[in-house]
Amino acid sequence: MADLDMPAKTHGVGVFLELRKRLQTGLLIVGKAVASSPADVVVTGGDSSLHIRTPRGELSLTLPAGVTLEQGSCVPTPAGESCGEELHFRLRISVTPSADEEASDSVVETLRAKETYCFHCQGCMTRLLEDRVFKRVLPLPNGNWNAIVDDWCCHPDPFANRKLLPRAEDCLLGDTFLLLARDGGCEQTLAEEVSSVGSEDSQDSKKTCRRLALVSCKSCSLVLGEAVAPESLKLYITQVVVEPAVGDRMPEASLNRSLYLEQTLAARLLGLSTSMSTFHFSVQTPDGKAFLLLWLLNSDSITASVPQTRVGGDSSLHSPSARVLKLLYTARSDTGIQHRDIVSSWEANAIGHPVVLPLKVCEELLQVIDDSNSALPASMRSMRYYEVAYLRL
Task: Report the chain's terminal Cα–Cα distance, integer Å.
Answer: 22
What's the chain's average pLDDT? 84
Please state which of the ranges 1-15, 282-296, 328-342, 343-357 shows the lowest mean pLDDT. Answer: 1-15
Please tell me whether residue 308 adopts helix, strand or coil conformation. helix
Q: For residue 282, what pLDDT band results from cuts at 50, 70 and 90?
A: very high
Which distant-in-sequence residues (6+ apart) come within 8 Å of 286 by Cβ? 197, 212, 226, 356, 358, 359
356 vs 314 pLDDT, higher one: 356
Tell me the helices (H) and strands (E) count for the chain, helix number first.
5, 25
Q: Environment class of residue 317 by beta-carbon count within 10 Å: exposed (0-12), middle (13-18) or buried (19+)?
A: buried
- Annotation: CATH topology of 115-154+164-196+210-247: 2.170.150
Average pLDDT over residues 84-96: 93
106 vs 340 pLDDT, higher one: 340
Query: Could you give the CA distance from residue 230 to residue 83 in angstroms, rounded to a whole number?
Result: 62
Query: Could you give the CA distance from residue 265 to residue 272 in angstroms, rounded to a whole number?
Result: 10
User: Which of 185-199, 280-294, 298-312 reaches the highest mean pLDDT?
Assistant: 280-294
User: Which of 101-110, 136-145, 223-232 reaches the highest mean pLDDT?
Assistant: 223-232
* pLDDT tens profile 239-263: 999 988 876 666 665 678 999 999 9
Domain positions in the chain are 15-101+260-392, 115-154+164-196+210-247
Is the pLDDT at 28 greater than 90? The verdict is: yes
Please state which of the ranges 111-115, 233-237, 364-368 shows the lowest mean pLDDT. Answer: 111-115
- In order of 204, 271, 296, 301, 322, the CA distances from 262 in angstroms are 32, 14, 14, 16, 12
Q: Which of 102, 360, 92, 344 is nearest to 224 (CA)?
A: 360
pLDDT of residue 256: 87
pLDDT of residue 11: 52
Percent of the chain with pLDDT over 90: 47
DSSP for 175-234, written as a single string? SSEEEEE--TTHHHHEEEEEEEES-TT-S-TTS--EEEEEEEETTT--EEEEEEETTEEE
pLDDT of residue 69: 93
Q: Contact at 8 Å (CB) between 295 and 329? A: yes
Is the pLDDT at 143 greater than 80? The verdict is: no
Is the pLDDT at 319 greater than 50? The verdict is: no
Average pLDDT over residues 78-84: 87
- Residue 216, CB-side half-sphere exposure with 13 Å CA sphere: 14
Which helix (H) or strand (E) is 393 found in, with range? none
188 vs 151 pLDDT, higher one: 188
